[in-house]
Chains A and B, each alone.
Chain A
Amino acid sequence: MSNILFGLADKQWIWVATVVFASTFVLGSYSALKLRRKTGRPYILGLVTFGWVLQTIGLYARGLQYGGCPLSNQFELVQFMVWSAIAIYIFVGPAFRVSLLGVFTSGFACIFSILSLVLQHWDNPSREPIFGDSPWIETHAALALFSYGVFGVLTLTSAMYLLQSRSLKTKNVVGGLFPFLPSIVELVSINRRLLLMGFVILTVSLAIGYKYFIQDLDSVLTIKLAATIAVWLAYAATLLLRQKFSLSTKKFAWACIGIFVAALLSLAAVNRSTQPNGSHASLATEHSQDAP
């Protein structure tokens, strides 16, 4: 079952958006690596924004069936995370003045989007309203996924830091991506700001979720609760250690990448452990699918 908007089904819109992200990634990489040209931010930003608008239409079309955010299965969770990461790049990214961030973000979007489209069992056909009457549960889920989008971009900038640091350490500073990557100090600052942003959003999301959790302790599965707390604690510890300068910038970057990978895996685990057609009377099942 699919929802048609402007002549295309929701998934078709998302496919077209994915093609735009893939084209942006290929064009940007070719421009930097082969033509040795700086990938102009306006041109990459324009393409990524175009893809994001197409994806927004696709997600909106799908959301119309629920009357809310489309966060009912793993396909939708991944798509919403990708959408959030791209939104961060479009609205916050220009302040970072990192010319390659658009190329990296479109690559990230392309990989995850293709994965979610190709693995068809991720998109099980749950098309019922999933958040009950409470808009707060939906806000909790959307914010949690949005924080994952921020952490996704943080993973990309952490990878950029490691690439740049390695190039400088190995003295391999002619050619490759080196001329197009920002300075070490700028990347360290961007990483710290992104972690702080993601952490604050995740904390707000969990605070909202906690309010409902204490009203109905059975509404959240133990595995989901444990995974959520573990992810939050891991990011909190990383942030704290970095603020106290107890963690080197290199270890910080690796930690950001590692936690994000673990968080994605835990998301999949939580999703698998959830009964697909559980009782809707309690929010437990659906809620457990929608957030980390």
Chain B
Amino acid sequence: MSREHDSFSVISINHEVAPLEVRERYSMDDTKVGALYANLRANSQISESLVLNTCNRFELYTETGEHASEQCVLETLAKAYQVDIEDLKAHLHLRSGRDAVQHLIEVAAGLRSQITGEAEIFGQVKAAYAVSQDHGYAGKTINRVFQKGFQAAKLIRNTTPVGQGQINIANVAVDLAGKIFGDLNAAAALSLGTGEIGEKTVKALRSRGAETFGVASRSQKRAEEVAREWGGIPRLLQDLEMYLPEYDIVIASVGADEAVITRQIIKRCFARRKGRPLFLIDLGLPRNIEKGCEDFDNVFLYNLDDLATIADENLAQRKQAVVDARTIAEQKSEFIWNAIVKRREHEKG
């Protein structure tokens, strides 16, 4: 059902309507955003504005005067991009009134993100709102829509699985580590190998509270270099059996034809671990850890395929949850918008 255009609207250039090369053309740096804000303020027909500018999305929320149309906003934007207004119109979404509020809630909750349910966008929308508010570009309508919109987005993220489950391999591994050890502060992690995927996993573990790391390489020099860079204790791969029992999480990504960790090694180190669980993450190809290692109680072995499958399942689950999440967004936007309309009518007289 089409709705009449309202004074509150959003213009969005995003992955749904514009391919990457178009989004590149319409991306803005901070200086250009500042200039756009200045032009919007200079336009007497536009009373409020907010720019959301991320690597994958450009959005302009505006409140215009009673008799102004969206044309004045489009003209200001086309001028900022120095393109023809028709060219601009071909690559954007324009929504107004309740639809614009619903759009904002869906964006903030991650429902409209390229990676469904990603959490980063919520912080980006909040930061954009803070800029608009600090500089006095936001007024009654934008303040109301964004403050209530944030509450609705939080509700969606807290009550639906749309943001649940990690969808990249390093984060899936870290999530599993959390399910085994709880607080990762007390868990010591060892990276066998100094490759990129190992580094990403170490960083992800650190971001979730892990503090003790070991970095093992075949060469002492390389181990020391990388340990300095990543933060950790350098270890020689050849001495693995000596220090393996000290670690709870082992990330293996060594270029080797044969398994680096065998069932026998795990069996020998088991007694020294006093029943503490051991999480083995095999990111190597060919595999670095013998399959039989997971036969022991409290030893959990995940390889690349296992982690990728979980990431895929999580993504599928998030996509399924979008339907329910959209229903909440619709209900909340209706409620927020009705309150705004009532207030406007009340103010008019």
Are A and B a genuine interacting pair, yes or no? yes
Q: Are A173 and B176 in contact (CB under 8 A)?
A: yes
Shortest Cβ distance from A193 into chain B, in angstroms? Answer: 14
Known A-B contacts A168-B300, A185-B277, A249-B275; the reply to A174 vs B314 at CB < 8 A is: yes
Shortest Cβ distance from A38 into chain B, in angstroms? Answer: 8
Q: A172-211, CB under 8 A of B: which get 1 and which 0?
A: 0111001101111110100000000000000000000000
Stretch at the interface among B110-118, B126-134, B159-167: B159-167
Partner pick for B182 among A179, A185, A250, CB 8 A cutoff: A185
Q: Are B321 and A36 in contact (CB under 8 A)?
A: yes
Q: Are B181 and A185 in contact (CB under 8 A)?
A: yes
Q: Are B310 and A183 in contact (CB under 8 A)?
A: no
Known A-B contacts A169-B294, A171-B302, A174-B310; the reply to A248 vs B275 at CB < 8 A is: yes
Indicate whether A127 reaches chain B with its CB closer than 8 angstroms.
no
Residue of A nearest to B175 (CB): A173
Partner pick for B181 among A36, A165, A184, A248, CB 8 A cutoff: A184
Complex interface: chain A residues within 8 A of B66 (CB): none
Partner pick for A183 among B179, B309, B321, CB 8 A cutoff: B179
- Total of A-B residue pairs, C-beta within 8 Å: 63
Question: Please, how many angstroms separate the alpha-carbon atoms of A185 and B298 in the complex?
Answer: 10
Q: Are A168 and B179 in contact (CB under 8 A)?
A: yes
Complex interface: chain A residues within 8 A of B164 (CB): 36, 179
Q: Are B297 and A184 in contact (CB under 8 A)?
A: no
Complex interface: chain A residues within 8 A of B317 (CB): 174-175
Complex interface residues of chain B between 266 and 324 (CB less than 8 A to chain A): 274-277, 294, 297-298, 300, 302, 306, 309-310, 313-314, 317, 321
Q: Are B182 and A182 in contact (CB under 8 A)?
A: yes
Shortest Cβ distance from B180 into chain A, in angstroms? Answer: 5
Complex interface residues of chain A between 240 and 292 (CB less than 8 A to chain B): 245, 248-251
Interface residues on B, range: 20 to 34
Q: Are B297 and A37 in contact (CB under 8 A)?
A: no
Partner pick for B297 among A36, A183, A251, CB 8 A cutoff: A251
Complex interface residues of chain B between 167 and 198 (CB less than 8 A to chain A): 176, 178-182
Complex interface: chain B residues within 8 A of A35 (CB): 159
Question: Please, how many angstroms separate the alpha-carbon atoms of A44 and B302 in the complex?
Answer: 35
Count residues on chain A whose CB falls below 8 Å from chain B CBs. 25
Question: Please, how many angstroms separate the alpha-carbon atoms of A165 and B321 in the complex?
Answer: 27
Q: Are B297 and A168 in contact (CB under 8 A)?
A: no
Indicate whether A164 reaches chain B with its CB closer than 8 angstroms.
yes
Question: Please, how many angstroms separate the alpha-carbon atoms of A75 and B321 in the complex?
Answer: 46
Known A-B contacts A37-B159, A173-B176, A186-B182; the reply to A248 vs B313 at CB < 8 A is: no
Known A-B contacts A248-B275, A249-B298; the reply to A183 vs B182 at CB < 8 A is: yes
Q: Are B161 and A36 in contact (CB under 8 A)?
A: yes
Shortest Cβ distance from A71 into chain B, in angstroms? Answer: 38
Shortest Cβ distance from A78 into chain B, in angstroms? Answer: 33
Q: Are A183 and B181 in contact (CB under 8 A)?
A: yes
Complex interface: chain A residues within 8 A of B276 (CB): 185
Complex interface: chain B residues within 8 A of A245 (CB): 274-275
Complex interface: chain B residues within 8 A of A168 (CB): 176, 179-180, 300
Question: Please, how many angstroms separate the alpha-carbon atoms of A39 and B276 in the complex?
Answer: 29
Q: Are B179 and A171 in contact (CB under 8 A)?
A: no
Complex interface: chain B residues within 8 A of A181 (CB): 179
Complex interface: chain B residues within 8 A of A173 (CB): 176, 179, 310
Complex interface: chain A residues within 8 A of B313 (CB): 174-175
Residue of B nearest to A40 (CB): B158
- Measured CB to CB, the residues of B under 8 A from A are 159-161, 164-165, 176, 178-182, 274-277, 294, 297-298, 300, 302, 306, 309-310, 313-314, 317, 321
Q: List 22 A-B contacts (CB under 8 A).
A: A37-B159, A165-B297, A168-B176, A169-B300, A171-B302, A171-B310, A173-B310, A174-B310, A174-B314, A178-B179, A179-B165, A181-B179, A182-B182, A183-B178, A183-B181, A184-B181, A185-B277, A188-B275, A248-B275, A248-B297, A249-B275, A249-B298
